[in-house]
Structures are given as C-alpha cells and as structure tokens.
C-alpha cells in the first residue's frame, strides 16, 4: 500500500510524529539559545519526513541505529518525548538518566540502539542487530540512519559489504542534507551515493526526503525486501537541514537567500499538508488540531524537564558494568 | 584430571558454551577457513586453530568467516550483543585493534553507561598478543594496558590451560564486554583441564607460590617466567610470592595489596611496553595503598619503550626473562633504606 | 609581552610555521569550512577556530578540508610526512582516535624502527581533549595515556598560551610523530605570548611553584587546578611544588624525581581515567626511582573509572577539582609511617 | 608504447625482474621449510607480472605502498635483493637492519614505503605520497598495491574517495589472487571490484595478471593519467597465488588439482617466454641466460645473508625516534 493510500489514522500518526519532531527541535533550539540546556546539540528540523517515512514500517522489535542528529529518529521510533527532553536537560528523569545527553539518547526496549557521537558509528551496530534477527530466525529488520558525510567513513563501506554478502535484513537510510558540518557534500563525496550500493549489487533508491510519501514508499519496499530475507537496501534520501550543523553554528557558509528558500520551498510538513488536503484525505482542521496538541506535549515536556531533579551524585560511578567486583 | 593444551582448553570452552546457549555465535577471519574454496572446509579453524570444529558442530549461521572488515564485524558483534546474541568475535592479532577500536571503546564499552544502565552487552573479543614469534612490530604487541584504561571493558589474560577454559566460559556468560587475550606462545603449553564446564571468576588473582621475601606480580606468559625466576631465587634463599591477577580489569587489588604488605618488596613483570602500562598501574596502586608496608622501591620489569623488533636476538632481548626478573627481585630483597 | 588566548597562540604558531616552510600543510574536517557552499569561505577555521585565516593566507592546496575519513587523511598525513611534507592533521576530538588509530600507532609511530632507522616522519596530529563542555562520553575523553604508551610517538599537552605556541612550533619542526593535545576549556584562557616564533623544547617540565612540603604533578588544564589548590594550601601552611611536565613522552623524569625527593610527598593530578593512566605512570616511576626519599604514599587524583557523564553535576564531579587535590596533598602532608 | 613494442633491453629487464621475484620466493620458501628463516612469510610467487608490469612505469621518485605479501613489490621497485634476503634472515646487513623482517621491508630512497603487516594499511599512505607530489607540484605518482581481501577494509574505501575528490596521482593496484588467507574472494567480496571505482567516478581497468603485457599496458595508461594530473585509477589485476597464504599454510582448502592446474596454466613467466619467443623478440637462449644469472644472484644473496652478523643488541632501543631526550 503506497503512502497516499494510508488510512486516516495512519496519516494523522505520520503527520503528528513529524510535527512532534519539528516542534521538539525548534524548542530545543530556543532553550539552547537561552542557555537552559547544557552542551550543544544537532537539530533534525527539516528532515522529519525521512525518519517518519522510514520508521513508519517498523515495529518495536525492529531496530534502528542513529547519529549525532538523532532526536528525529528517536521520536519516530517511539522513544518517550518527556524522557528525551529531560535527558537533554541532563536530568535524572532523562531517558538515559542524564548520563547520555542529546548525542546518546537510546531506548533498547523500543528498538532504538542509540544516537551516536561517532560519525559512522552506527552502520556496524545496525548490521549486528540485523545479524541477531538472522541468527535467531526472526523477521525483524534493522535500519541504519546516517548522513551524507558518513558515507565516507570506512565503517559505512565495510558494513555495506558485510550486509550484502550476509544478506542481512538492514536498510541503510542515508540522509543527505547536503552538508557534513560546514562542508558541502559536493566537495567531499565522489560520485553518486546510490552507485556505492550498486557496486556491491545492493538494491538502492534515491528519494526526495521532503516528500513523506516518497520516503514511505521506498522504505516500504526496502523493509519488505529485508523481511523476505532478500538482503539490504540503500535509500538515498535528500533533505534540507534547517539549522546550522550544531546549535551554536552561525551557519554563515550558506547565504541567507539559500536558507530562506530552503525553508520556504522544502518543508516536509507543508508539503504533507498540501498533499493530504488537496487529495481530501485530511482537512486543515484535522492538522491544526494535531499542531495544537503537539505544542502542548512539548510545552509540558519542557516544563517537566525543567522541574526534574539532577541525577544523584552516586550515579556517577554506577552503570559502568552490569557487575564488576 | 586430563591434560590438555591451552588451545584445546579454549576450544572446549567454545564448544561447551555454543552447545549450551544458542545465542552464542563466533565470528572472525578464517575462524573456519576454506569458505567458498574448492578444498577442505574448516580448513584453519582460526589462524591458531582455536575455533577448529565449531563449523561442523554448529554450522555456518553461528560460525561465521568474515571479510577483512574488523570495524564492521567487531561492531556487528557489539550490536548483536546489545540485541540478544552473545557473540564471540576474534581478531587474529590484538595489533589490529587500530582498525576497529572505536567499535570497542566508544560503542560496546560505553553503551551501558551512556544509556543510563539500560543496555546489556555480552560481547567477547578474543585476540592473540605477545612477542616471541618473529612476527615483528605489527604482530607482536601486548596492548592490554589500552583496554585496561577504558572504563566499561573487562580484560582477561589467562596464563594456563585451566584458567583459559574457565575464564573463557566466564567471559561468554558475563554480561559485560570482555577483551580476552591469548598469548600465542602459550597455545601449545599443557596442563590439567577438567572435561566439563567450569568458570574461573573475574577479579580473583591466582597465588602460584607463597614466600616471605619478595612479591612478584606477573601477567600472562610472564607468570611462567616469574615462576622460573622464583625457582632460581629460592635456591639462593630468597623466597617469593608469585601472583597472577588473571584479569587486569577488574583487578584483584586485595590479594595484590595483601601480598605486597606481607613481603614489603615488590616486582611487577609485564611484557607490554612500560609507559602507562600494567606494571605502572599495579605499582601505583601499591604505592598509594600499601605504602606503609613497603621496604623497597617497586621494581618494574617490562619490555623497553620500543616497538617489537624482528631479529630473533633482538626480540629475545625485548621480552622480559627470568634473569631480569631475578635481578629485580634481588635488588628489592637487598634494598635497605638509607 | 602581549597577552593572547591559547587559541590565538596556536593560530600564530601555525601561521609562523606555514609561512616559514612551504612543506607544512594542514588538513582536517572543516579546518577552513564552507568548502563547496554558497556562503562564507573559511567559515569555521576549525571546529574551535584554531586554524582560522590559514586558508586565506596559504590557499587550498596547503589548507585542506577533508571528508569524514579520519583513517584516510590521518594516514595520508603520515604518508606525506614520510615523503617530504610536514603535515599537521587535526582530529576534532581525540575521542575519534578509534577510527584511525592504526595509521597513528602501527604506521606513523613505527616507520622509523621497522625500517631500521631510515624513515623520518615529521607528522603532527592535533586534537582536542577533555571534559567540562557537557559533550558526554564520546566527546570528552583524555586518552593521552594511550598515546603515551606507544613507543615512537611524542605526546604534548600544553597548559598555557605561551607553551601552546612554543610547543606547537617545536612539534612542527620536530622530526618525529607528535600527538598534540589541546584542552577545550583552555582555548579562551589568556597569557603572555611573544609575537615572534620560539620553541618550548620537549621533555622539559615547567616548575610553576616551589615548596617544601608536597610535590604536585599535573597535566594540561589540571595544572591550573593544582595551582589553585596549592594557593589554598599555602594559606594553611602547606607549601607545594607544582610541576607541569608539558610533554608526557618524552617525560622529564629528572625534574619530577628531584622534586619528589625534595618534598618526599607527592600528589599526581590527571583528568584521564585512572587505570594505566598518566598518574599511575608517573607514580610508578617515582616509586621505583625515588623511593628512598618518599615519606608518604603517592596519591593520585584522577577521573573515576567511568565514561564521562553528560549531566552537568555529574560531569563536574567527574573532573578532579581543587578540593580533591588539596585533600590529597593534606593526606600526603600529614602522613606518618607507623 | 604497448608492452609488445618494448625494446630488447626492456623486455629482458622485465623478464629478469619477474624471474628474480620467482626464484627469491621459491628460495625463501625452501629456507623457511628448513627452519633457517625465523617467523613466517607471505610469498608472492605467481603474481610477478603484476608488480613488474606496474612498476615498469615508475622511477625512483615515484612511491609505492605495499602489503604483507610485499617481496615482489620491493624487488620490482628496485630494493636491493641482498639487503632483502638479509632482512628476512634477521641480520644486521638487512635492508631494515633486521628490525623489520619480511612484513616491513622498506627503502624510502627507492620510493618503497614499506611492506605492511596491516591489511589496508597502505592505501592512506599511498594517498599521502601522492599528496606530497601534488603539494610540491611534482609529477611523481604513487601506487598502492593491495589484495582482493583488502578491498573490504574501510581504509581502502576512504582512500579511494579521498584520492578521487583530490585528484591525487595514485594508482590502486588491486591484486586479486582469489583469496584472503583461506577464504575465497567470492565468499566475502560483494560485486565487481572495478565497480567500486566506477561508483566514485574513478577510472578503472580489469586485467589478466598472468599477462605481463596486459598489466604493462593498463598501468601505462593509469600512470600517464596520474602524471597528467587527471587523478587516480583502480587496476583490478587477477593473478594466481602459488603458495599457501603464509609459508606454513597447508593450503588444503584448494584441491591438489586446482593448484597444479594453476601452476601449469597460469604462469606469468611461461606466458612471457612464449609470447616473446613466438614474436621473435627474444629467444630461449636469452631467457635461459637470465635464468642462470638470477639463480646465481639469489644463491649469493642467501650465502651472504647466512654469513652476516646478527644486529648488535644495542640496536634494540635505537631508531625509535630521530631524537627523544
Ligand atoms: C568519527 C567522527 N569524525 C568526525 C566527527 C565530527 N562530526 C560530527 S557530525 C559531523 C558531520 C556529519 O555529517 P553527516 O554525516 O552528513 O551528518 P549531518 O550532520 O549532516 O546530519 C562531523 C564531521 C565525529 N563526530 N565523528
Ligand atoms: C587489519 C588486518 N586484519 C587482518 C590481518 C590478517 N591477514 C593478513 S593477510 C590477510 C589476507 C589478505 O588478503 P588479500 O588482501 O587478498 O591479500 P593476499 O594475502 O591475498 O595477498 C589477512 C586477513 C591483517 N594483517 N591486518
Ligand atoms: Mg549531512
Ligand atoms: Mg588475496
């Protein structure tokens, strides 16, 4: 079933999840600017259709590995938004009890294997999750989200070959936002990304990451292929990156015109809204209701995070091992 | 008790655990060997023969020859461990850690902490280490000080066939990431090894010999060289305690400190390079926690601060030997604070 | 003398050396930034702004933004060094060593030895290290004990703007592979820095303060925390020597041993993890070579054996502070052998 | 000028170099078996046309990076055979003074950057050598020899991308002997090797490594391309591997039939001989004379190596640094 044939509930769920990500990120950006959040963070705003379009096909048993820009993947995979916000605030109620922060949000019980501070850290891990499914003869799949910059990390190439020869049920979702930090993709990535899969005989697809339905459909096929035991797929998903690389990045290597055009012309939420309202699958009131709900959800997450206690100092040295001495 | 080689002891441990738990898998380069080729299957059973027979017993789904992609397969082992398997990955020589270290120390080792205690990563990485095979600088290092430095890893260095089997079974049953290091020169050494499964717990040192004068602490193959030195010293009337910590992380501080306090004179023997090495580590623990009992400097007997040379005579000089250990013990024994 | 930030001192060193020697190149991720994009060029000048302005001054042939391929570009720097350039590679966070360690420790570090003395590899690897920026486990480590362990590498940890400039110039002129580590929290610290070029030699410790009671040895940013502690202690009548070794390999053993002998009481402060760490290393050297003069246990003040946590309160507790240092110094000062 | 148009002297030089490699390796194998050489070694016999066909186009200013199976590359690049043999015997007269051994033979003065014990260790180094040429505006090139197994090491993928985006004058000579240790290429390498270059937009060629002339011609083009500043090339060179993976390898994963057919049908020396004699470029007597000379050369290298002193023990701690304290 292609995206445009989804049920009303499914469409609302997809929109809602994208909306949560957008509002979450915009809010984290604002809190960060006002100094209420420690450290810094990499925001996913603009890329929502990718995480949601892919994760739409996954159950809690399926696994994803993520990146430094992981909030969107976490939300799309079902991580608790309150716990995520508290984690980013460094609180004891955080999803990782404040020990991980933005770059290490994880919830294994939801199949979320962790954001990752190491570019290229995820691909081997996703292969491992897929290997578990294969060895235990389950039909779970694993998705490895990574950026266009990560395509040049050796681990990515190794993992793609491994997945292909072992026919692992893994999907390499390469989110191409045109940049690795402040460097344009064109400056550092030789050739076409899908060709790197083709060279291995791996299935691949190139999709517009602003279009939820395009991502949905391509991911559907990839996930089905993996579940059938037919091996990995690479999805090359082109998206905008709304903010700078990290929260404090002046982002002056893009012209203001380029940035405003991007936000104007490449907004997956706006595109979704116009597609579903034009096709009369949902109406504006439906979507506005979601927007309002989501706003509340994030407000309350921030409020709770702010009020939550810091982790106890005794936790500094716990959780290093299951059992040490 | 039956007598077996260190290699066979390890092989038995793998057979036991794979038989016992379907979640245990092994993966690495040529751990079977012969895949895709015209001749014999399971042709190698690992570069050192440790995994021989596993392919036949457990099949290719659980016994996986990998591409030469250490980051991918070691990382896959970490990812599989976090999602329900209990993988035992092999990197042939610990020297190859440089091509896959991130997956070990930033991923597997830190999952549990970063994720607030919610991850369990029963991951075992086996590797050979050590000089003495004329394999030169990139195939002879010890490197366990690097793993020992990293919080979240456990590090095991068995010195006997008995310990090899019991520690490997413990490693596989352990819920934390374990780096399991085998000295190549020990594979053909023999000793008593029960047929059944048993564990040697982590963090419990083995006291091989007790004496009154000098405490010698040694790791891996150095334990045997230390025993040789202790034998010589006994003839001179210097009686030594010899301790094999067996695991460097966790480290059995209590046993080490107690022995150091009893003799007040300590020699630490380690085949790794000296700077930030195991000997330095143990010495510093004693110098901090057993200082009051010390009667002499803490002597370290280690490899020099050089890569491992190829020429047999240089390599022999590189590795600590019984003479250097005995000299250090004598210096400790005769030292009088002026 | 003009006052400058640590960042600016480093930037000046790079400008000097690139101006002086056309063989010096710099490479790394976003060391300029903005390549291929529509907006400003040299947009970042490195993630911490240290390489700002080099692109404009020396052009894209010598100032190279790289793909996210640390093994390839760090290894290329090693290969270029062995064939006639003097590259300065940057890995943004030392935590990333795990994806390129082989090219550092098995290649660059060992060329000269493996090749019988015939290679010269003037390779500099700059990286930031250290906790305190709320960047969590994979962006906050120290890890210099790992480099210090490896024969063939030199390891530099400047604590002041003056040292930063002089040591970086020395590193670039040095004919051996140098790991040059910059604590992120020092970039904005200021100090006197001459405008011209000068070198601070390797293996010469800096004595920041001399005292009779306790010797404190500290590395990198910990030097400043140690000075803070020493200031407090002075008010209590405990007078401390504070030593900054500046390079961990080579290590100025003479200065360290002399100071240890003078006071007989030693505290070593290090922000790295404790096991096989710098504090252990220095402690063990003192316990072996200055034992006769020791009047108290050698105390180590280090991070705990845990990854670096994210939450600000936990991270603050992770990093050694003046209180812990002062407590250790007091314990050393008041210790009496029973 | 294609290989078949080479001068008589050039043809004799090519044959002689291949012959030296073959006899060197057969002799090392024999000495190894009799226990006179310490450690173990990876023999290049069968692959000679690759090293010689590629290095034919290189000067002493060009650089090569090599592998654990490096003797052939060293000889083809002009390393001193006596020094190499002494090195393998662990002697003070060795090319690395006995410190490196078989896996670390190097002579930077000949542009030989070292055999390498790490699979995938060489590609970044070759990029570095090419970078030196590019920065200093020289027309040197660098060749990275590596095996089919090494193609799956992340460093190889990273280096290929780096070489391509920087248009480095480097040639990736992938010597495909069908095996990485005891594992067949087909079991671990996904897709076609040349496609991994094509995916990056990199020039590539697939050649029969038993045919010196085929290698010569493909390498000629690749080297010329690099010297012209037009960037890297991947050469996929198929060769047999005469011995087991290492000197003590029972090599029982290949059938005796396969091995004898390989030696019978895929011998680059025999192929060279028949090509040049049939074309009447050289006659058998010319080649026999070379064979005899080479035999003497190797005999005398072994004799000298055997008689040479071990390194002095004081050298254990020298050559770690240019200057330490
Ligand atoms: C191994 C490693 N190298 C470098 C970095 C620093 N870094 C963090 S994000 C990033 C850019 C990643 O680009 P891309 O993969 O395209 O992801 P995006 O940020 O665009 O989502 C870099 C270089 C890192 N975290 N890990
Ligand atoms: C990083 C690393 N992994 C594994 C090894 C062990 N090893 C040595 S040679 C080899 C096979 C290499 O195969 P290939 O690249 O095809 O070269 P060949 O031996 O066929 O010449 C392996 C796995 C190594 N030396 N380095
Ligand atoms: Mg990107
Ligand atoms: Mg091969």
Phi, psi of B244 (to 5 degrees): -115, 105
Beta strand A179-180 with A183-184 is antiparallel
- What is the Å distance from ligand 4's center to C48 Cα? 43
C65 lines ligand 1 (CB under 6 A): no
pLDDT at D325: 81
Q: What DSSP line would sit under C184-203, residue for residue?
A: GGGTT-EEE--SS-----TT
Q: Which residue has the tokens 């929260």?
A: A247
Q: Provide the CATH topology of domain A2-308.
A: Rossmann fold (3.40.50)
C214-218 and C206-209 as β-strands: parallel, antiparallel, unpaired? unpaired
Q: How far apart are CA B264 and CA A305, in angstroms?
A: 54
A238: phi then psi, degrees, rounded to nearest 5:
-90, 125
- Per the DSSP assignment, residues forming a β-bridge with C336 are none
A194-198, B82-86, D1-5, range with the lowest pLDDT:
D1-5
Mean pLDDT of D166-189: 98
- Gap from CA of D153 to ligand 2 centroid (Å): 10
Q: Is A203 helix (H, G, I), strand (E, B) or coil?
A: strand
Nearest chain B residue to D184 by CA distance is B36
Contact between chains at A90 and C68 (C-beta distance less than 8 A): no
Mutate to test the pocket of ligand 1, among A65, A68, A72, A151 (most ligand atoms within 8 A of CB): A68
State whether C68 and A91 contact (CB < 8 Å): no
D311: which DSSP letter?
P
Write out chain A residues lying below 8 Å of B103, CB-based. Answer: 121, 124-125, 155
Alpha-carbon torsion angle C330, C331, C332, C333, nearest 10? 50
Q: Give the three-class secondary structure for C125.
A: strand
Q: Which residues of C touch D169 (CB under 8 A)?
A: none
Class of domain C206-334 as given by CATH: alpha beta
| pLDDT at residue C89, rounded to an integer | 98
Secondary-structure breakdown of chain D: helix, strand, coil percentages, each rounded to the nearest 5: 50, 10, 40
Coil, strand or helix at B249 = strand
Q: Is B72 on the interface with D (CB under 8 A)?
A: yes
The Cα–Cα gap between B4 and B183 comes to 16
CB spacing of A187 vs D196 below 8 angstroms: no
To test the pocket of ligand 2, the residue of D42, D158, D180 to mutate (highest count of ligand atoms within 8 Å of its CB) is D180
Averaged over C236-258, what is the pLDDT? 98
Q: D36 pLDDT exceeds 90?
A: no
Chain A residue numbers touching C47 (CB-CB < 8 A):
181
Q: Hey, is the C-beta of D157 within 8 angstroms of any chain A C-beta?
A: yes
Q: Are the beta carbons of A120 and B101 closer than 8 angstroms?
A: no
* CA of residue A58 to ligand 3 center, whole Å: 24
Residue nearest (by alpha carbon) to ligand 2 atom 25: D118
Q: Whose CA is nearest to atom 19 of ligand 2?
A: D180
Tens-place pLDDT, residues D121-169: 999 999 999 999 999 999 999 999 999 999 999 999 999 999 999 999 9
Q: Where are the domains of chain B?
A: 3-192, 206-334
Residue C337 pLDDT class (50, 70, 90 cuts): confident
In angstroms, the CA A48 to CA A25 distance is 10
Q: Does B336 touch chain A (CB under 8 A)?
A: no
Average pLDDT over residues A258-263: 97
Hunting for tokens 């990029």 — which residue is that? D127
pLDDT at B250: 98
Residue showing tokens 């709320």: C134
Interface residue B114 vs chain A (CB under 8 A): yes
Burial class (CB within 10 angstroms; exposed 0-12, middle 13-18, buried 19+) of C303 = buried
Q: Which class for D8: exposed (0-12), middle (13-18), buried (19 or more C-beta within 10 A)?
A: exposed
Report the CATH fold assignment for C3-192: Rossmann fold (3.40.50)
CB atoms within 10 A of CB A152: 29
Cα C183 to Cα C163: distance, rounded to the nearest angstrom: 13
A154 with C137: Cβ contact below 8 A: no
Split at pLDDT 50, 70, 90, the class of B54 is: very high
Shortest CA distance to A96 belongs to which of C312, A85, A38, B123? A85
Closest chain D residue by Cα to residue B38: D254
Rounded distance, CA C75 to CA D233, Å? 19
For residue range A81-122, list pLDDT tens digits in order. Answer: 999 999 999 999 999 999 999 999 999 999 999 999 999 999
Answer for the pair A235, A204: CB distance below 8 angstroms, yes or no. Answer: yes
Name the pLDDT band for C110 (thresholds 50, 70, 90). Answer: very high
DSSP secondary structure of C21-63: -TTEEEEETTSS--TTSSS-SS-SSSTTSTTTTHHHHH-TTTE
Contact: A125, B102; criterion CB under 8 Å: no
Residues B118, A96: C-beta atoms closer than 8 Å: yes
Q: What residue spans of chain A are helical by DSSP H?
A: 8-33, 48-55, 71-76, 81-88, 122-135, 154-165, 185-188, 193-198, 212-227, 256-265, 268-278, 284-307
| pLDDT tens by residue, A112-124 | 999 999 999 999 9
Cα torsion angle, D313, D317, D323, D324, sign: negative
Q: Nearest CB to B298: which of C102, C150, C284?
A: C284
Q: Could you report the per-residue pLDDT of C277-322, keeping only the tens digit for each?
A: 999 999 999 999 999 999 999 999 999 999 999 999 999 999 999 9
**Residue A170 confidence (pLDDT):** 98
- Count H helices, E strands: chain B? 12, 14
Measuring CA to CA, which residue among C328, C324, C6, C320 is closest to residue C157? C6
Instruction: Report the pLDDT averaged over residues A124-131.
Output: 98
* CA separation for the pair C287, C282 (Å, rounded): 9
Give dist(CA C101, CA B305) in Å, integer. 19
Q: In the numeric block, which tokens belong to residue D21?
A: 């490699």
Q: Give yes or no for a contact between D43 and D50, defined as CB atoms under 8 angstroms apart.
A: no
Cβ neighbour number for residue A275 with a 10 Å cutoff: 17
B-contacting chains (≥3 CB pairs under 8 Å): A, C, D
Separation of alpha carbons C43 and C46, rounded Å: 9
pLDDT > 80? residue B338: no
What protein residues have CB closer than 5 angstroms to ion ligand 3? A 147-149, 177, 179
**Window 267-286 of A, Cβ < 8 Å to B:** none
Best mutation target, C98, C105, C113, C179, to test chain D (most D CBs within 10 A): C113
Give the model's confidence band at A2: pLDDT under 50 very low, under 70 low, under 90 confident, else very high: confident
pTM above 0.95, yes or no: yes
Cα(D161)–Cα(D196) distance, rounded to whole angstroms? 10
At D280, list the tokens: 């009447």
- Catalytic residue, from B15, B16, B139, B149: name it: B139
Catalytic residue status for B305: no
Model confidence pLDDT, tens digit, residues A200-225: 999 999 999 999 999 999 999 999 99
The alpha-carbon gap from C128 to the nearest alpha carbon of chain B, in Å, equals 16
Atom of ligand 1 nearest to the CA of A118: 26
User: Within an 8 Å CB–CB cutoff, is residue D296 touching chain A?
Assistant: no
Give φ, ψ of C240 to 5 degrees: -115, 145
- Average pLDDT estimate for A43-60: 98
Cα separation, A169 vs A142, whole angstroms: 6
A144: which strand partners?
A65, A172
Burial environment of residue D274 by CB neighbours within 10 A (0 to 12, 13 to 18, 19 or more): exposed
Ligand 3 centroid distance, CA of A229 (Å): 30
Candidates D167, D199, D162, D180; CA nearest to D67 is D180
pLDDT confidence band for B337 (50 / 70 / 90):
confident
A112 in contact with chain B, both atoms CB, cutoff 8 A: no
Give D112's DSSP letter: B
- pLDDT for the residue A36: 85
Tokens (6 digits) for B71: 């980051």
CA separation for the pair D231, D246 (Å, rounded): 34
The label of the residue with tokens 């057969």 reads D26
Question: Which chains have at least 3 CB atom pairs separated by less than 8 Å from chain A?
Answer: B, C, D
Report how far residue C162's alpha carbon sits from residue C3's, in angstroms, rounded to the nearest whole number.
Answer: 9
Interface test with D, best of A118, A162, A174, A199 (most D CBs within 10 A): A199
Chain-chain contact of B136 with D315 (C-beta, under 8 angstroms):
no
- Rounded to the nearest angstrom, the distance between the alpha carbon of D175 and the centre of ligand 4 is 7
Enzyme catalytic residues of C: 139
Ligand 1 center from residue A149 Cα (angstroms): 6
Q: How far apart are CA A251 and CA C34, in angstroms?
A: 9
Length of chain B: 338
Q: E strands, chain C, where?
A: 3-5, 24-28, 63-65, 86-93, 124-129, 154-156, 178-183, 190-192, 206-209, 214-218, 240-244, 247-249, 266-270, 299-302
Mean pLDDT in residue range C255-268: 98
User: Is the distance from the beta carbon of residue A71 to the nearest atom of ligand 1 less than 6 Å?
Assistant: no
Q: Report chain D's mean pLDDT, rounded to a whole number.
A: 97
Please give, rounded to a whole number of angstroms, the shortest distance from the CA of D104 to a CA of chain B.
Answer: 8
Helix axes A212-227, A8-33, angle to 10 degrees: 110
Extract the tokens encoding C1.
């003398």
D31 pLDDT above the threshold of 80: yes
The answer to whether B283 faces chain C, any CB pair under 8 Å, is yes
Please report, rounded to a whole number, the percentage of residues in chain A having pLDDT higher than 70.
100
- Proportion of chain B above pLDDT 70, given as a percent: 100
Question: How many CB atoms are located within 10 Å of the residue D300 CB?
Answer: 13
Ligand that comes closest to the CA of residue A145: 1
Instruction: Give the closest residue to B108 by CA, choosing from A148, C138, D190.
Output: C138
Cis, bond preceding C119 (omega within 30 deg of 0): no
**CA–CA separation, B303 vs B219, rounded Å?**
13
Q: Which residues pair with C214 in a beta bridge?
A: C240
Average pLDDT of B155-181?
98
Q: Which residue in chain A has the smallest CA separation from C140?
A: A117
- Across D198-220, average pLDDT: 98
Please state the atom number of ligand 2 nearest to the C-alpha of residue D150: 15
Q: Are C216 and C325 in contact (CB under 8 A)?
A: yes
């Amino acid at each position: 079933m292609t995206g445009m044939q989804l049920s009303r509930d499914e469409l609302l769920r997809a929109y809602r999840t994208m909306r949560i990500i957008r509002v979450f990120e915009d809010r984290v950006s604002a809190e960060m600017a006002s100094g209420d959040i420690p450290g810094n963070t990499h925001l996913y705003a603009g890329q929502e259709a990718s995480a949601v379009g892919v994760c739409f096909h996954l159950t809690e048993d399926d696994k994803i590995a993520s990146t430094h820009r992981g909030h969107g993947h976490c939300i799309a995979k079902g991580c608790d938004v309150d716990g995520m916000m508290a984690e980013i605030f460094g609180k004891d109620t955080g999803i990782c009890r404040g020990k991980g922060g933005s770059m290490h949000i994880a919830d294994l019980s939801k199949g979320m294997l962790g954001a990752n501070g190491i570019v290229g850290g995820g691909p081997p891990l996703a292969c491992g999750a897929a290997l578990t499914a294969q060895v235990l003869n389950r039909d779970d799949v694993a998705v490895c989200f990574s950026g266009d910059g990560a395509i040049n990390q050796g681990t990515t190439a190794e993992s793609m070959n491994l997945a292909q020869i072992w026919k692992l049920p893994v999907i390499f979702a390469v989110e191409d936002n045109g940049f690795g930090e402040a460097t344009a993709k064109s400056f550092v990535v030789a050739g076409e990304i899908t060709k790197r899969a083709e060279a291995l005989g791996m299935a691949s697809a190139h999709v517009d990451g602003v279009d939820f339905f395009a991502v949905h459909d391509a991911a559907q096929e990839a996930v089905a292929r993996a579940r059938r035991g037919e091996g990995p797929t690479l999805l090359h998903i082109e998206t905008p990156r709304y903010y700078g690389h990290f929260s404090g990045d002046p982002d002056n290597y893009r012209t203001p015109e380029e940035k405003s055009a991007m936000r104007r012309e490449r907004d997956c939420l706006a595109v979704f809204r116009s597609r579903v309202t034009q096709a009369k699958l949902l109406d504006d009131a439906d979507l506005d209701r979601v927007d309002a709900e989501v706003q509340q959800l994030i407000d309350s997450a921030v409020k709770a995070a702010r009020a939550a206690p810091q982790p106890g100092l005794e936790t500094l040295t716990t959780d290093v091992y299951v059992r040490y001495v | 008790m039956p007598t077996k080689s260190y290699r066979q002891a390890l092989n038995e441990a793998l057979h036991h655990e794979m038989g016992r738990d379907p979640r245990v898998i092994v993966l690495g380069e040529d751990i079977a060997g012969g895949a895709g080729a015209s001749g014999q299957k399971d042709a190698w059973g690992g570069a050192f023969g440790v995994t021989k027979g596993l392919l036949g017993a457990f099949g290719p789904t659980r016994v996986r020859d990998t591409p030469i992609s250490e980051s991918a397969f070691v990382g896959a082992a970490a990812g599989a461990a976090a999602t329900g398997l209990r993988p035992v990955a092999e990197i042939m020589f610990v020297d190859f850690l440089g091509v896959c270290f991130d997956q070990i120390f930033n991923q597997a080792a830190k999952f549990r902490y970063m994720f607030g205690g919610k991850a369990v990563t029963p991951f075992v990485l086996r590797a050979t280490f050590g000089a003495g095979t004329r394999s030169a600088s990139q195939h002879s290092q010890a490197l366990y000080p690097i793993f020992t430095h990293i919080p979240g890893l456990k590090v095991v260095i068995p010195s006997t066939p008995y310990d090899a089997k019991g520690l490997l079974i413990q490693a596989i049953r352990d819920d934390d990431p374990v780096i399991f290091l085998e000295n190549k020169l020990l594979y053909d050494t023999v000793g008593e090894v029960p047929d059944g499964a048993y564990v040697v717990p982590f963090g419990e040192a083995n006291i091989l010999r007790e004496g009154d004068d000098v405490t010698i602490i040694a790791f891996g193959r150095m334990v045997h060289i230390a025993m040789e030195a202790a034998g010589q010293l006994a003839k001179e009337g210097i009686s030594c305690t010899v301790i094999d910590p067996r695991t460097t992380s966790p480290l059995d501080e209590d046993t080490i400190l107690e022995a150091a306090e009893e003799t007040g004179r300590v020699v630490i023997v380690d085949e790794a390079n000296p700077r930030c090495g195991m000997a330095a580590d143990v010495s510093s623990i004693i110098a901090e926690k057993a200082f009051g009992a010390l009667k002499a400097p803490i002597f370290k007997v280690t490899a020099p601060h050089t890569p491992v040379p190829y020429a047999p005579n240089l390599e022999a000089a590189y590795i600590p030997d019984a003479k250097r250990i005995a000299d250090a013990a004598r210096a400790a024994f005769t030292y009088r604070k002026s």
